[in-house]
Every structure is written in C-alpha cells, then in structure tokens.
Structure 1
Amino acid sequence: MARADVLVVEDQPLAAKDVEATLSVMDYDVVEIVRKGEDAIETAVEAEPDVVLMDILLAGEMDGIEAAQQIQDEHEIPVVFLTAHAEPETVGRAKQFGPYGYISKPVDPVELRTAIEVAIHKSELDEKLKRSRIELTAFAHTVAHHLGEPLAAIDDRLDRLEASASDQLEERERDDLVTARREVDRAKAMVDGLLAYAEAGEAEPSQPHDVDEALDQVLAKLEPLIAETGARVEREPLPEVYAPEDKLVWLLGNLVENAIEHAHVDEPVVRVRSEEEDDHAVVAVEDNGMGIEPGIRDSIFDLFDRGQTQRPGAGVGLAVCKRIAEANRGGIWVESEPGEGSTFYARLPKGEEPAG
C-alpha cells in the first residue's frame, strides 16, 4: 500500500505532536501541521494531501467545521475530525456536511489507522461515483439531442397533417392522429425526464434552506391544480434542511402534486408535516386517497414506472425525487394501505429547528 500524505490541523502543540508521532510510526507522511482553519485551506490546496485530520476547535476566526467544509466540497479532499469535548451543537454542525470520520482525542493508533484508510477508500469510491454521474449526464444529453430532433420532426408533420387534412379524415383516422400526438408528447416527456433524472444525481455543496419557503413556492405554482380539484392543503411548521434550493423545491413540488392528484376525489386533503430523526429531518406528505397496492410500492420509485395511475405522464417524478434525496445524503420511501391513503417521506440532513 502506498504511503498516504496527511495534513494535520490542530492548534494544541502537544496534541499535534502526539498525532504526528502516531502517524509516523504507522508509516504515514505528515505533510504539515497547521493551527488555523485559514492555513489549513491554503496548505490543502498547495500540498494536496490524501486526507486531512481536522480539530474542530481551532485558533483564528474560522473553526474546523468551516475549513473542513471548504476543503472537502471545493477541493474534494476527505476530512476526518479530531474531537475532544465539543458541545453537542458543534458536533451536530460537524455532521451536517458529511465528514469522512471522527476520532476521539487522545487518539488510539488502531482507530486512527482505520479512520484514515476508510476515509481514503470512501473518497476513491465517491470519485468513481462522481465520474459515473458525469457520464450518465453526458449520455442523457446525447440521447436527448438525438431523439429530440426526430420527435420534433414528427410533431411538425402531425401539425401539418392536422392543419391541412383534418376535415377530410374519418373519425377513426382522427382518433389515430390524437393517439400519435399523445405518444409523441409522452416520448418528449420521457426524454426530459431522463435529463432530469441524470442531473438530479449531481451532488452539490448546499446551505440550509427553509422547507416552509420551498412549500410556499410549490403551492403558488400549484394554485391552478388546487383550484381545479378543490384540494385542501394542511401544513405544519417545517424545518431547514441541507439541500440545493432548486432540488428541494422540485422534490417537494412533485410529492405535493402527486398527493393532490391521488387524494380523495370528492374531498381531497393533503397534509405536509415533518418529523425529527437524529441529525436528519423527515418531511412527510400525506393524502387521503385510495392508497397503493403492496405489490407496487417499491417499484414506483423506478425510472419510467407509472404505478397504478392512468394519468398522463412519463413515470419519472418519483425516480427523480429518490435520486435528489439520495444525492443529498438522505432517502425517500412510502407507507400506504389500500383505501387509507399514502404518506411519502423524504429524509434530508437537518438544519435549524423549525419555528413555532
């Protein structure tokens, strides 16, 4: 195994020397020891270490969490935290951006080696996953380009046929024209869905965003559907979560729109609420509709799966929701019983506590 280069960020000289000595015995190269977060960022860029061991509480204006987030997100170098007696709030902040590990001080050699090797291995896997996502996005754009042109040409021919000969067509032929138009639109939606699916998996550095504000945007966009269906949307105070704002709005919008469309026909009710789960928030979207049959609950998150709905669509919405949640260190699932409605849960890293 090649020797790994390690940057140590520790403002206590004795603790720093202890870590350096332990690393040297284990045949790691210590590229440098720095005391401040600002120096850690500069050194990480210059030295390009394989891993950074970062104390959370540092000298200077920038603490280890801020420095670690910048190093890991912008320079893609894995960070392992060194912790002693940090406050729970500080540890909670540290968890939000997904460090590669934690080590308690004073360091145990076996624990230290394990944390470093796991961090490096996970970083390599993340890099492979990132390349796969880039390749998938490129493939999706290529497919969209090559399919988009013939679909546009077919659409144009249908327009011409409808404009020039619709009054000469028999009823069956007019029905065929409507069917052809519908299938072209569906194919276009599938191409757009493939692009959305590919782009949804791109991990992006994010800040806390208010789910309440995202829901405001969603409900404003869905006003025509709410008016058409007469749906009542109930809501509770919602938290902040770590996710890109546009992806958060997309995910929440799809879940709420689906809930409205599948709620009870005569008295549609949708409820949006949240639950806490360790360092994550779980946003729940409930409807009072017909529920989902057990045999299709898992497959509804598959790309191009349309479940039991007869409504138009390409079957990509829930697949994109799943990809967004997982790309942001979360997940999504559904609980449902036939005749008793459905509840979709989106789990995302938690920001601040909800107001109220």
Structure 2
Amino acid sequence: MSRPARILVVEDDRVVARDLRQQLGHLGYQVVGVTARGEDAAALARSTSAELALTDIRLEGAMDGIDAAQEIRLACDIPVVFLTAYADDETLRRARLTEPFGYLLKPFEDSQLRTAIEMALYKHANDRKLRESERRYAATLASIGDAVITTDEAGCIRYLNPVAERLIHCRADAALGRPLAELYRVSDEETGPWAQAPGAGLMLHGPGREPVPIEQSVSPLIDERGKVTGSVLVFRDLSHRRTVEKELRDAQAELARVSGLTTMGELAASIAHEINQPLAAIVTNASAGLNWLRRPQPELAEVEQLLGWILADGSRAAGVIKSLQALARKSGPELARLDMAATIHEVAQLMRPDIQRHGVRLQLGPFAAQSHVLGDRIQIQQVLVNLLRNGIEAIRDSTGGSGADSSRLLVVSTAPGEAGEVAICVTDSGDGVAEAHRERLFDAFFTTKPHGMGMGLAICRSIVEAHQGRLWATPVAPRGLRLAFALPAAPG
C-alpha cells in the first residue's frame, strides 16, 4: 500500500486552515505543515519535504499566494493547487503565469478536492518523467561525436548539440528559431549545386570559413497522428578522415615505391649472384684459351673445346637472366618433361671444377626408379647449381678434419616424395646450420657466410614455388645438412 501524499497548506484564515487539515486527513492525506504567510511557504515546503501545496491566492503580508506559488515551484519543484473564492480575469491571468496544477473555487466538495490533488500529483509525476527523459536525450545528443540539428515543420532550428554549434560556428541561443538555410548550406563536392540530400561527398559552407567536407543523414519527425512535425539532421565532419585517408594513400604510394626499389634490388642481386659462376667460367676458359694460342705451336683443338665451353657458359648466363626476369614478372615457368637423374649429371659436370678445387667427394645417386618431373630446364638447373654450391661451401668451411672421407662427402639423390611428387636431395657433410637460423635460410639477403649475398636459397625457393613444389632443410646426424625440394612428377 502506498504511503499518503505529503501536503503543505498555505491559508491565512485559521478556521479554513483547520477545516482543510481535517478534510485532508479524512481523505487519507498527510498534512506536513500549515502557514498563513506566503514568505514562509517555500522554506516550509522544503523543510517538510512536501509533495504538493494547497495555496490560497489572498494571503496576509507582502507576498500573496500567486507569488508564494512561484517561490515554491522554483525552490521545491512540487505542484501547486490554488484554493480561492476569487475568479476575476486579472487573478486568473496572474495565476496562470505560475503554471498551477489545479484551481478550486471555494466552497468545494471532498470529491472535487481529491480529484484536484490526484490529478496534480499525476500530472506532475508525468512532467517530471518527461523532463528527465528530455535531459537524458539532451545529454546523449551533447555527448555523441556527430553534429545534430532538429527543426520544426517550417524548417526553423529547435535544437542543436555542441558539435553542431562548432561546425556551423553559431551558439545554440543565437541559432534557435532561425531558418536552417541561414546557417547550414551544403553543396555536392563533385557537381557543386546546393543540396540537402543525405550521403557523403558534401561540403558544408558558412560565412567567413573554408568549406568543410561532411557526411549527413536527414530523418523526418512524425507525431502519433502521422503528421511531419520537423526533421532531424545528423552530420559528421570528415576533415580528419580525409587527412588520414590522404596520409594512408601517401604511405601506400611510398610503400609501393620502396617495394619497387626493393624488388629491383633483389632482382639485381639475384642476377649478379646467378651469373657469377658462368662468368667466372668464361673468364677462366678465355684465359686458358689465350695461353693455348700463345704457345709456339698453338693447340687449336684445345682452344676449340674451350670456345665451346665459353659458348655454353654464355648461353647458360643468358638463360639464367631470362629465367630470373620471368620470376620477377611473375610469369610461369616453361614446363617440360625432365629426367632429374640426367639433369643432376649435367649440373655435376658444370660444377666439376669447383668440386675438384675444394676436394669434395661427389656421390650421385641413388636415384628413384621414376625421377621424371615437370619443370623448366634452366630454372631447375639453377636450383641444383645453388644447392650444390651451398653444399660445396659448407664442406669447404667445415671445421671437421679433411682426413676422414665422410667429412668431404656431397650426395645428390632422388626419392619418391609425397603422392605425385619426386624429391631431390643434396646432402653435405659440413657443420650444419643452427636451429635458430634454419627457418630463415630461404629468406632473401639472409646468410650465415661472411661474404655471402643471401640470395641463392631465396632464388631456389622462388623457382620451386613457381613450379608448385616445396623446399626444406633438415639436419643430418652426426653432422651436415640436407637441402631438398619436391616437384610434381611427370605423368607416364
């Protein structure tokens, strides 16, 4: 059961005040105070936590009931019901200014008094809820990052939040009631004509300032009868976003430029790395050929053989450059059926001078019964040359003794890989690679050698992956490293 409403009586007639107290008690209300002076009404209402005031318009003293009602309303925010015997026009006009919640002419019945009190309490509770809702609504709109303007049906501004104030450069108190078009003018960023259409690509214009890029949306305000009573305009300053987007585009352009330079650097390094060996062979053979020709009896047969080798090395260098350019252009390899056993023997013959110079024992095989793959001959030869050179250098730089045969052994073999693959393995007896470095072996410019470029294995990976294959490294016990790659087997 709800507690009785707490009521303050402001009445200068003691008999009427006494009867009113009794009447209210009979109706179930609690009278928390009675005063005959308007000057005391507001303070008494506040100290007694009154919820409603019944006030006579004519009071003793300098302040009448209308002035007292105004003080009560401002100090306590409680409803006031006037009880009076006067109903002239001037009194009613003054009373209306205080926004009373009821007006009873004396004498009145209990039912009339109850009705006036209950209606006043009910209306005041609803008004309080409405004001709280409006405050929450205003606080929400004031705190959001978007600008908000509401207009009435005539297009005049009824509300704008602080963000809108900043964007249109006008305070709310100066903007309220003014036509929206005076303060808010929008043009299409591309075509230029004035527009109020929703969307992005708009420019907000105002006197004395540069246009601001915005994004906006417009929604109608519709009452319960379906009538449009105004509109809500929500817009957002896109200046910061445009700045960020421009910086991002500039950063992407710079990244593309740097990436292009990096790619060019990688291509140049790759070409230098790959043609170094055939160029060195050309120089060596040319020097030997000159020596043969300078003898008292020139050895023309030997010179002819050397010229053949020079021609072969020159052709191989040209093929290397062509294949690396194809990799840089992301064009696919020229696939053909390759016998990997025969290809390994060809590459071993090319690498024979290096193998002999470093005292490496080369073992070719065992080879799988089916060692045919689909590949680009020049590019697969490049892979094998790099892997063999890597193994030769690992053996050359090995800390193991040279007396044991196993310490100078390089084995090249093939074996069945996963389904539909052929695996080619190059196993050296060098010192191996630290586990921490093994994952980076195939990264461009990563090397564990004092004078290495770090491109050989990176090129191998690019070529093998372009052939839809795999490349990996595994340690060998008790020492050494196995570099292996797998390629799709040729059909048939």
With the length of structure 2 as denominator, give the TM-score of the two structures: 0.33
More helix by share: 1
Work out which structure has the larger RCO, using CA pairs closer than 8 Å and 6 or more positions apart in sequence: 1
Q: Which has the larger radius of gyration?
A: 2
Q: TM-score, normalised by structure 1?
A: 0.45
